[in-house]
Amino acid sequence: MALSTTEAEYIAAGSCCAQTLWMKQQLSDYGLNLSKIPLLCDNTSAINLTKNLVQHSRTKHIEIRHHFIRDHVTNGDCEIQFVSTENQLVDLFTKSLSKEIFNFLRNELGILDIKHVL
């Protein structure tokens, strides 16, 4: 159970990192080698936790397994990048949005509006 938004975002970023590294390995089996995988996060405190290797009193209760992401950021396997809350593409799948925001995010993903294609 997360005690803060920062901790929840940090744990989620670690889980995402593990999944992208698995996909990276699968792609390398097919001859497609990728370097730094960008992970987008809208929580600057969680981003700072991934880059700071010092254990703070506020993070001492986070289980060791969740610090997996720190090692991979340090090794250059993945790179945590900030994305503003307004540009979170995942919101398209997880939130009810206004028509304008929905259309904007849909276009960012490259999904076509079938009504305008036909």
Q: Where are the domains of the chain?
A: 1-83, 85-118
How many residues comprise the chain? 118
Sign of CA dihedral 107, 90, 47, 50: negative
- What pLDDT score was predicted for residue 57? 57
Per-residue pLDDT tens over the stretch 72-93:
888 888 899 998 877 888 888 8
H or E element in which residue 80 lies: strand 78-82
Q: Does position 44 have pLDDT exceeding 70, yes or no? A: yes
- Look at the pTM and tell me if it is higher than 0.85: no
d(CA 40, CA 28): 22
User: Minimal CA–CA distance to 70: which of 11, 3, 110, 4?
Assistant: 11
- What pLDDT score was predicted for residue 25? 92
Average pLDDT rounded to a whole number, residues 36-65? 76
Percentage of the chain lying above the pLDDT 90 cut = 14
Listed in sequence order, the DSSP H helices in 1-118 are: 5-29, 44-51, 68-75, 91-94, 99-109, 114-117
- What pLDDT score was predicted for residue 56? 59
Per-residue pLDDT tens over the stretch 10-31:
888 889 999 999 999 999 999 9
